[in-house]
C-alpha cells in the first residue's frame, strides 16, 4: 500500500509568522521536517500541502528545491487541502504531520502507520492518550476513511483541523492510539507529554535552537538525544508556560 505523508504548512502563523522557514543549525525548519519524515521506514512519498496565498510562495519554492511535490489549496478548509494532496499522489494510507515539528520522530511515524497498514485501524494516532512530547504528533488514516470524512464532515473545526471528526465519531472507525512505551524502549522517554518540542512561539524557537546548536548529530538528530539535552539543561523552563492551541 502506498503511504504518503502530508506535511501541512503555511507562513501565516499568528503567534510566530514564517516559523516553518526559520533556521535551525543551518537548515530551515521545513527542511528538518521533510528529512525526518522521509527517514521513516513506512513512508513512500512526502508532499507539502500549503495554501494558494502569495505569502506561501516562498514555502512552496523551498519544498520544490528539496525535491518534494507541493499541493496548494484552501487556507481555511485544511481537510480539503490534505485530502486533495493525498488524492493527487494516489495515496492508499495518509500520514499527517504539521510543519512546526522539526523534531518529528521517524520511528514514531512508522509505529503509528503500522496499525493502518495492517488493517487494524482506519485511524491511528498518538494524541488521544498523550504520552509523547508536543511536537511528535502523528496521525495516520486510510485514504478510504479520509475520503469519507471529506464528504461528511461539516463543522468548521472539522474542516480547519482535519481529524477531529475521527476522534468525535469513534463508533464509525477502527481507532488505535499508540503510546510512547510502544515506540521507545527507554523509561526516561515514556510519558513525556510534559515537554514542548513544537514551534508555536518565540520561547519554543529558543528551546529548539538551543537543542540543535548544542547537540552533536548526523543528518537527523535523534529525538532521544534532544529530550536528554532538554532534561540535562533544564530547557523545559523556557517554554513550559506556552499555551498549546486546541485542535
DSSP string, 128-152: TTT-SPBT---EEEEHHHHHHHHHH
Cβ neighbours for 119, distance < 8 A, ≥ 6 positions apart: none
Q: Do the bridges between strand 70-73 and strand 45-51 make them parallel or antiparallel, or are there none, so unpaired?
A: parallel
In a domain, 133, yes or no: yes
Collapsing DSSP states into helix, strand and coil, what is residue 111? helix
In a domain, 244, yes or no: no
Given a cut of 60, whether residue 202 has pLDDT beyond it is yes
Q: What is the pTM of this model?
A: 0.95
Give the total number of structural domains in the chain. Answer: 1
In a domain, 92, yes or no: yes
In a domain, 106, yes or no: yes
Collapsing DSSP states into helix, strand and coil, what is residue 45? strand
CA-CA-CA-CA torsion sign (112, 132, 235, 243): positive
Please report, in angstroms and rounded to a whole number, the separation of the first and last CA atoms in the chain: 28
In a domain, 146, yes or no: yes
In a domain, 247, yes or no: no
In a domain, 245, yes or no: no
Given a cut of 70, whether residue 203 has pLDDT beyond it is yes
Please, are residues 213 and 150 in contact by the beta-carbon 8 Å criterion? no
Q: What is the DSSP letter of 195?
A: -
H-helix or E-strand containing 73? strand 70-73
Confidence of residue 186 (pLDDT cuts 50, 70, 90): confident
In a domain, 246, yes or no: no
CATH code of residue 49: 3.90.550.10
Which of 6-15, 23-32, 162-171, 234-243 bottoms out in mean pLDDT, i.e. has the lowest? 234-243
- What is the reported pLDDT for 153? 98
Domain that holds residue 176: 3-239
Task: Render the burial of 67-105: b for 16+ CB within 10 Å, e for the rest.
Answer: ebebbbbebebbbbbbbbbbbebebebbbbbbbbbbbbb
The CA distances from residue 108 to 37, 111, 131, in Å, are 10, 5, 12
What percent of the chain is predicted at pLDDT more than 70? 96
- Which residues on neighbouring strands pair with residue 124, listed in sequence order? 140, 176
146-184: pLDDT as tens digits: 999 999 999 999 999 999 999 999 999 999 999 999 999
Amino acid at each position: 500500500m502506498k503511504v504518503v505523508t502530508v506535511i501541512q504548512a503555511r507562513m501565516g502563523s499568528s503567534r510566530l509568522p514564517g516559523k516553518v522557514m526559520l533556521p535551525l543549525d543551518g537548515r530551515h525548519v521545513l527542511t528538518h521536517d521533510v528529512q525526518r519524515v522521509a527517514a521513516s521506514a513506512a513512508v513512500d512519498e512526502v508532499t507539502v500541502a500549503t495554501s494558494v496565498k502569495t505569502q506561501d510562495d516562498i514555502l512552496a519554492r523551498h519544498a520544490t528545491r528539496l525535491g518534494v511535490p507541493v499541493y496548494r489549496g484552501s487556507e481555511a478548509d485544511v481537510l480539503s487541502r490534505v485530502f486533495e494532496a493525498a488524492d493527487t499522489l494516489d495515496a492508499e494510507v495518509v500520514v499527517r504531520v504539521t510543519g512546526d515539528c522539526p523534531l518529528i520522530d521517524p520511528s514514531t511515524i512508522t509505529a503509528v502507520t503500522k496499525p493502518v497498514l495492517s488493517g487494524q485501524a482506519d485511524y491511528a494516532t498518538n494524541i488521544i492518550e498523550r504520552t509523547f512530547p508536543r511536537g511528535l504528533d502523528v496521525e495516520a488514516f486510510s485514504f478510504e476513511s479520509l475520503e469519507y470524512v471529506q464528504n461528511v464532515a461539516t463543522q468548521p473545526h472539522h474542516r480547519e483541523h482535519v481529524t477531529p471528526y475521527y476522534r468525535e465519531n469513534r463508533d464509525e472507525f477502527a481507532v488505535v492510539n499508540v503510546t510512547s512505551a510502544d515506540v521507545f524502549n527507554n523509561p526516561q522517554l515514556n510519558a513525556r507529554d510534559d515537554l514542548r518540542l513544537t514551534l508555536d512561539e518565540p520561547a519554543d524557537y529558543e528551546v529548539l535552537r538551543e537543542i540543535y546548536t548544542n547537540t552533536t548529530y548526523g543528518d537527523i538528530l535523534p529525538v532521544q538525544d534532544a529530550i536528554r539535552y532538554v532534561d540535562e539543561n533544564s530547557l523545559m523552563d523556557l517554554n513550559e508556560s506556552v499555551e498549546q492551541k486546541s485542535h
